[in-house]
Amino acid sequence: MEDRKKRTEIASMGEFGLIKHLTENLPDPNESTLKGVGDDAAILNYNNGKRVLVTTDLLMEGVHFNLAYCPLKHLGYKSAVVNFSDIYAMNGTPKQITVSLAFSKKFAVEDIDELYAGIRIACEQYGVDIIGGDTSSSLTGLAISITCIGEADPDKVVCRNTAGSTDLICVTGDLGAAYMGLLFLERENKVFMQTGLRPDSDDADFAAKSYIIQRQLKPEARKDIIEALARINVVPTSMMDISDGLSSELLHICKQSNVGCRIYEDRLPIDYQTAVMAEEVNMNVSTVALHGGEDYELLFTVPLEMNDVFQNLKGIKVIGHTTKPELGCCLIGRDGLEHNIVAQGWNAFPEKEESNDNDEAEDDSELKS
Amino acid sequence: MEDRKKRTEIASMGEFGLIKHLTENLPDPNESTLKGVGDDAAILNYNNGKRVLVTTDLLMEGVHFNLAYCPLKHLGYKSAVVNFSDIYAMNGTPKQITVSLAFSKKFAVEDIDELYAGIRIACEQYGVDIIGGDTSSSLTGLAISITCIGEADPDKVVCRNTAGSTDLICVTGDLGAAYMGLLFLERENKVFMQTGLRPDSDDADFAAKSYIIQRQLKPEARKDIIEALARINVVPTSMMDISDGLSSELLHICKQSNVGCRIYEDRLPIDYQTAVMAEEVNMNVSTVALHGGEDYELLFTVPLEMNDVFQNLKGIKVIGHTTKPELGCCLIGRDGLEHNIVAQGWNAFPEKEESNDNDEAEDDSELKS
């Protein structure tokens, strides 16, 4: 991505050399990590009265990320954090990850270093150990597969299917910013592709979009919220993280818990930069907040009695309540009218793909650009 | 791969529809699996006095497998089994896997069904639960990432770095067959690519190669050996599975345990079909047994006192012994001469790759062939 002096071919280092290079000097591990990298399998000890949580994500270049505007270090950070987010969404704490990477010849050791540096920073930030993985070549592009293992108290694990029918619905932070950041980066990249003029990331437009760019490129998992809930001794009745968009996740909770819901348009938490960008691209900002993915905020429900507490918690917004299932899932608009909620978030298998098996032009250009 | 009547586009089903379709009617889970597919993370209980083992593999089309001659069902089976093998290699028992798949538009729901059917058969065979995963699209080809979680008694976990300097070195089964199977399949595939004549898998040549083909396409993990060792109350002093070739794995054990070794050429276990194929391709059969990968046999060490027991155990062969480190790692040839052992097995990052980012001709042809 950056201009580089040095390019070390991965073949010159070999698989074992590369693994050693990437995983040396890892910080002291968690108590539950007995043995990490270096054997057929890692050895963990979870005889600690906790539940073990396991989640996994596979990110493919050109589908989940575009290296034309996503720096490898940020990508590494994000790849790890999105997995941590899934563990927090169970009211747990992430403890270990395995990192599998496959990369084509366009990547040098220095590129993989950048990517791995991002993963390591995320792990240090969140107190997670890298305990193993796999590295190999790929014919085209980069694939990143991370599995995260975490723990939670048996009586505090929170699932999606346990919301009550008179609960408050809460979301953390604000919504839609990551999606607006994506649209901004794609717009700038398109200008660059057409004009050859590299956008100046120091200019005023980038500064005015810094929050939404950061939300797209370097999201955080809501460790702070999970810790805050623990401090006030609240276990949500249901919870998940918002990766595919609020509407999609809300419908998951409602369907799996067999409840309906009412959420209020005027209560959707939206950042100023999100609103500005939505206007620039001529989108309704509520639509952006409802359907934009990758915010990695938490969506959860708590009993109605906690209304007073949750109306005043920093970083948490009550956006509505659950109902009996027969009332369906609706958004109450600013006009007071009810609109059925329909999932329109991230689609892993779009009908019309941007690229196909025969069209590899994009793949090769990214590191050269 | 096969001629098919039906082709269902994955986009018509959507990600959640596909996941539901693939994971419905899973058999009853292990005791340690509290909640599998369907939430942000799976929930496990390992408060059972055992150690938790974690291993992972990422397989990329065109690098780890060629769909021109590797049926999807076999590929699914193998993808799961190679992970189980890593858990057995720690003297453990595999219990759960997560399965992440990314596939390009050339794959239909029926293809993914085949792949998943192979994974499910392997899981049923070995008593392992599918507890989660990820499915998405890829720009080109198929990526399969499997993470396996297993358990072992704390006092029976076996690592690579604990061999003694006067131990017996044992291998299970026979060596080199998977590599010879690969060369045979590649040879037949080349003939097909050049002549357009599809090889007849019922013909005499295929029948005479059935064992080596099966070793390549549908390997098994040595659950039986781990169970047999438990029955006679033997815990190896060190162990790993042979995925990259005997020479490579033996050097890992010796280096990590700080010992040397002597193994004997005339004791290398070699199947008749392996020897025949080696002759056909003009290779030294001992070289094939030493360096051929993907056998998924176990390599382990036991104390010298167990010689009498291990000389007579079915499916296990004593091929040599460890030594003080200063004696180095040598093969004693049939001629009685010592040859230094050098790793020449599987290379994840070959200097000269068969394909590169610009050459995608192969990717698209496989399912059409």
- What is the value of ipTM here, to two decimals? 0.91
Whole-angstrom Cα distance, residue B354 to residue A222? 44
Long-range contacts of B119-122, Cβ-Cβ distance < 8 Å, separation of 24 or more:
B119/B76, B119/B77, B119/B79, B119/B80, B119/B146, B120/B26, B120/B76, B121/B73, B121/B76, B121/B77, B122/B76, B122/B77, B122/B78, B122/B80, B122/B81, B122/B84
Whole-angstrom Cα distance, residue B325 to residue A37? 23
pLDDT on residue A350:
66
Size of interface A-B (CB pairs under 8 A): 281
pTM for the full model?
0.92
pLDDT band at B236 (very low <50, low <70, confident <90, very high): very high
pLDDT on residue A366:
33
pLDDT on residue B4:
57
CA distance A323 to chain B (A): 21
Q: Which residue in A20, A161, A238, A349 has the most chain B C-beta atoms within 10 A of its own C-beta, making it the best mutation to test that interface?
A: A349
Q: What is the pLDDT of residues B248-280, one digit of tens each?
A: 999 999 999 999 999 999 999 999 999 999 999
Q: What is the mean pLDDT of residues B86-108?
A: 97
Q: Where is B241: in which H helix or E strand? A: strand B238-242
H helices of A127-203, in order, are 177-195
pLDDT on residue A358:
39
Q: What residues contact A37, with CB distance under 8 A and at least 6 apart?
A: A19, A23, A26, A130, A131, A132, A133
A90 touches chain B (CB under 8 A): yes
pLDDT band at B67 (very low <50, low <70, confident <90, very high): very high
Which strands form A51-60's sheet, in the order they lie side by side? A129-137, A93-103, A142-152, A51-60, B42-44, B33-35
The answer on pLDDT for A253 being more than 80 is yes
Amino acid in position A344 = Q
Report helix, strand or coil for B133.
strand
B236 touches chain A (CB under 8 A): no
Report helix, strand or coil for B266.
helix
pLDDT band at A351 (very low <50, low <70, confident <90, very high): low
- Cβ-defined contact of A143 to B351 (cutoff 8 Å): no
Q: What is the mean pLDDT of residues A186-213?
A: 84
Whole-angstrom Cα distance, residue B106 to residue B96? 29
The answer on pLDDT for B51 being more than 70 is yes
Spell out which residues of chain B touch residue A43, defining contact as CB-CB under 8 Å.
Answer: 51-53, 90, 152, 157, 159
pLDDT cut 70: percent of chain B above it: 91
Q: What is the mean pLDDT of residues B297-311?
A: 96
Residue B298: CB atoms within 10 Å: 27
Whole-angstrom Cα distance, residue A91 to residue B317? 50
Whole-angstrom Cα distance, residue A214 to residue B293? 45
Which residues of chain A from 294 to 333 reach within 8 Å of chain B, CB to CB?
Answer: none
Whole-angstrom Cα distance, residue B104 to residue B94? 30
Mean pLDDT for chain A? 91
Q: What is the mean pLDDT of residues A36-53?
A: 95
B131 touches chain A (CB under 8 A): yes
pLDDT cut 70: percent of chain A above it: 91
Contact present, A148 and A94 (Cβ < 8 Å): yes
Q: What is the pLDDT of residues A81-134, one digit of tens each?
A: 999 999 999 999 999 999 999 999 999 999 999 999 999 999 999 999 999 999
Q: What residues contact A141, with CB distance under 8 A and at least 6 apart?
A: A60, A61, A62, A103, A104, A363, B139, B140, B357
- Cβ-defined contact of A363 to B350 (cutoff 8 Å): no
Whole-angstrom Cα distance, residue B282 to residue A334? 79
pLDDT on residue A317:
97
- Alpha carbon of A40 to those of A316, A364, B132, B158, B303: distances in Å? 43, 34, 22, 10, 21
B156 touches chain A (CB under 8 A): no
Spell out which residues of chain B touch residue A161, defining contact as CB-CB under 8 Å.
Answer: 38-39
Spell out which residues of chain B touch residue A139, defining contact as CB-CB under 8 Å.
Answer: 60-63, 140-141, 355-357, 360, 362-363
Q: Which residue in B16, B37, B40, B100 has the most chain A C-beta atoms within 10 A of its own C-beta, making it the best mutation to test that interface?
A: B40
pLDDT on residue B348:
64
Contact present, B57 and B357 (Cβ < 8 Å): no
Q: What is the mean pLDDT of residues B228-241?
A: 97
Which residues of chain B from 335 to 364 reach within 8 Å of chain A, CB to CB?
Answer: 347-351, 353, 355-358, 360, 362-364
Residue A215: CB atoms within 10 Å: 28
Task: Transcribe A193-239 into DSSP letters.
Answer: HHH-PPP-TTSHHHHHTHHHHHHHHS----HHHHHHHHHTT---SEE
Which of A58, A133, A351 is the closest to B102 by Cβ?
Answer: A58
- Alpha carbon of A158 to those of A151, A254, B10, B44, B224: distances in Å? 12, 15, 31, 13, 39
Q: Which of B77, B349, B52 is nearest to A109 (CA)?
A: B349
DSSP symbol at A61: B
Q: What is the pLDDT of residues B145-182, one digit of tens each?
A: 999 999 999 999 999 999 999 999 999 999 999 999 99
Alpha carbon A107 to chain centroid, angstroms: 24
pLDDT band at B93 (very low <50, low <70, confident <90, very high): very high
Task: Transcribe B42-87 into DSSP letters.
Answer: EEE---SSPEEEEEEEEEEBTTTB-TTTS-HHHHHHHHHHHHHHHH
Alpha carbon A83 to chain centroid, angstroms: 7
